[in-house]
Amino acid sequence: MGVVEDSVEAARSYFDKNRLPFPCLVDPSHEIYHRYNVETKLLSLGQRPGLFIIDRDGIFRYAHIGSQQWEIPGNAQVLEVCRGLQFTAQM
């Protein structure tokens, strides 16, 4: 799931133009950002990136908070963590 800080209207406009393969939560009040300590910092030119992998049991399997907007883990690193998780089919 993605979390965006825009207004609902701005987020809807973006989602209508860009078909994302995952759900997104709109958080204009930054409640979710604050809960996960992903803060906006003046020196990082805005919203710092945060990426978390949480399994079905609510256990954090990966956490990354960048100090700059461009500090985002690479796909290979994230996929490696995901491949290490054991998933069972849910009926």
Given a contact cutoff of 8 angstroms between Cβ atoms, the answer to whether 46 and 38 are in contact is no
Q: Say whether pTM exceeds 0.75.
A: no
Q: pLDDT-derived band of residue 41, with 50, 70 and 90 as boundaries?
A: low
- CA 21 to CA 44: how far, in whole Å? 28
Give the H/E segment covering residue 26: strand 24-26
Given a contact cutoff of 8 angstroms between Cβ atoms, the answer to whether 1 and 27 are in contact is no
Given a contact cutoff of 8 angstroms between Cβ atoms, the answer to whether 39 and 66 are in contact is no
Q: Which amino acid is at 34?
A: H
Q: pLDDT-derived band of residue 33, with 50, 70 and 90 as boundaries?
A: confident
Domains of the chain, by residue range, sit at: 1-35, 49-91
